Structure formats: C-alpha cells, structure tokens
Amino acid sequence: MFSLKVSDPTKKTVCGLEGLCLGSKCRVICVDTNGQTSCRLMEMGLTPGTEFTVTKVAPLGDPIEIDVRGTRICLRRKETAEITVEKVS
C-alpha cells in the first residue's frame, strides 16, 4: 500500500502504512532530503520531531489526510515514501 515507514518504539522495526490506522499518532523521524517534494513537505511543517495524527484514509488507501500543527494535509503514496515516522502512544 503506502511506503510510509513506521518505526514502532517498542519493537524497533520499520513497517508500511498498513501499520497505521485512523487516529494513529506519529512523530516524524526524518524526511529524505532528495527532491523538491521533501522540501515542500518540510515547508508545510513535517520536520523531524513533529507529531501528527492520521485523520482520514481514502477507501483505496490513497491519499491519506494528516493533522500536523493544526493544519490538515493530504499525502499521496509517492510523497509518503520520503517520510520515516514512529508511533506515539
């Protein structure tokens, strides 16, 4: 599905977006700095250490909507490939 990497702090593993569900809270670990998309994501507030919540997931899984710093952002699969996150309890 999505290639958003999710690091579970209890298991120290990386998995795909299927590990995230509606309402999941995550923290950005890093954003791949290759390409214009990653620069734009960081300009919109997705910087390392920032927490966000998954607010909506489209029926086929693309795109997803996240709430980051009070702003809702929709992301497609290719955009999420550049973000590594960990789940926050």
Could you report the per-residue pLDDT of 27-50, keeping only the tens digit for each?
A: 888 887 777 788 888 888 888 899
Mean pLDDT of all residues in 49-62: 88
Prediction pTM value: 0.75
Q: Which domain holds residue 54?
A: 5-87
**CATH number of the CATH domain containing 37:** 2.30.30.90
Output DSSP code: residue 10.
Answer: T
Alpha-carbon span 59 to 82, nearest angstrom: 22
* Number of domains present in the structure of the chain: 1
